Amino acid sequence: MERLSNEFYLIDEEVTPIEEIEIFDDLVGKGVYEVIKVQKNVPMFLEDHLERFFKSIDALGYKCDLTLENIKNRVDFLIDKNPKGDRNLKLIFSETKDGTFKLLIFFIDTVFPDEKLYKEGIKTVTINLQREDPNIKIQRNWYKEKVGNFLKEKEAYEALLVDDDGFITEGSRSNIFYVIGDEIITTQGDKVLLGITREYVLKVIEKLGYKLVNKTLNIRDLKDIDGVIMTGTGVGVIPISTIDSYNINSTNNKIINLILENYNKIEDEYINNYEK
């Protein structure tokens, strides 16, 4: 069951108190979803998220008459309707038991990394697990529960997905970039969820003029890396200090700090230019 926060959410265009959650028991099939960070009351990179949202809907063959502008208006309305503050917003488009489709928009319980983790880096662990159809964002409750239990057991912030041959594809809810010397390495796009933050980091790398290599690293390659970052909706860009038993001096890596600095400028620019 989803853990809603704040005071109200939307069932299509109907304003609903978060205590009334019966609709979630009516959802069936594969629900398409997006999670969007609301920062300073601005839904970050909303247009990019909605473009991916519609692509996932199309990939599953669902009929949808919604438009980007229609959903944007609902998102802006819901942000204004609820108490202010930074948090994550979730959209679910799913079939219900009566055969109709519903769009649910709601705030979820959110814990963002504190500033200390950006300065010191986060702890990560590897898990032998792969995401089916990584480029389609569908609800996978079993996957979320398995990863959540594993992270709790290992006392880690994120789990990196590893296939049977030892190759690390992506994070359970993030994308990963490695630095080896003056090269930046990330898994090729057809094997990972094409994260919104990932796309902006790719633009930063191009702007900075560093060489980008698209390939999948093996666990045995971890001994050679000089730095690594995780990118994702909630965290933005955050350094990784450990992967399993490997300690990585990411926070002192010049390339990583340049990526962080330039990505943060992109976020600030989006917030300053957002129009409701």
Closest CA to 127 of 89, 99, 153: 153
Answer whether residue 47 shows pLDDT above 90.
yes
pLDDT band at 96 (very low <50, low <70, confident <90, very high): very high
Is residue 210 within 8 Å of residue 186, measured between CB atoms? no
Share of the chain above pLDDT 90, in %: 90
pLDDT at 172: 93
CB 205 within 8 A of CB 259: yes
CB distance 123 to 115 below 8 Å: no
Buried b (16+ CB within 10 A) or exposed e, 110-129: beeeeeebbeebbbbbbbeb
Residues near 122 by beta carbon (within 8 Å), at least 6 away in sequence? 113, 156, 157, 158, 230, 238, 239, 240, 241
Q: Using one digit for the tens of pLDDT, what is the confidence trace for 144-171? A: 899 999 999 999 999 999 999 999 999 9
b/e per residue, 27-56, with b = 16+ CB within 10 A? beebbbbbbbbbbeebbbbbebbbebbbeb
* Phi, psi for residue 172 in degrees, rounded to 5: -65, -25
pTM as predicted: 0.93
Structure tokens at 156: 């880690």
Residue 3 in this model has a pLDDT that exceeds 90: no
Q: Decide whether 4-108 matches 115-272 in CATH topology.
A: no
Q: What is the mean pLDDT of the chain?
A: 95
Look at residue 1 in the predicted model and tell me its pLDDT: 67
CA-to-CA distance for 207 and 271, rounded, in angstroms? 21
Closest CA to 133 of 50, 56, 216: 56
Q: What confidence tens digit (pLDDT) does each residue in 109-139 have? A: 998 999 999 999 999 999 999 877 777 778 7
**Using CA atoms, how far apart are residues 177 and 167, in angstroms rounded to an integer?**
14
Question: Which residues, including other chains, have CB under 8 Å from residue 11's CB and lie 6 or more apart?
Answer: 23, 102, 103, 104
Distance CA 107, CA 18 (A): 9
Which residue from 143, 140, 122, 149 is spatially nearest to 236, judged by alpha carbons? 122
pLDDT at 218 over 80: yes
**Residue 141: pLDDT above 90?**
no
The reported pLDDT for the residue numbered 142 is: 83
CATH number of 115-272: 3.20.10.10
Q: Where are the domains of the chain?
A: 4-108, 115-272
The mean pLDDT of 68-87, rounded to a whole number, is 97
* Residue percentage of the chain with pLDDT more than 70: 99
Residue scoring higher pLDDT (239 or 3): 239
The class level of CATH for 4-108 reads: alpha beta
Amino acid sitting at position 196: I
Residue 38 confidence (pLDDT): 98
Q: Residue 65: pLDDT above 80?
A: yes
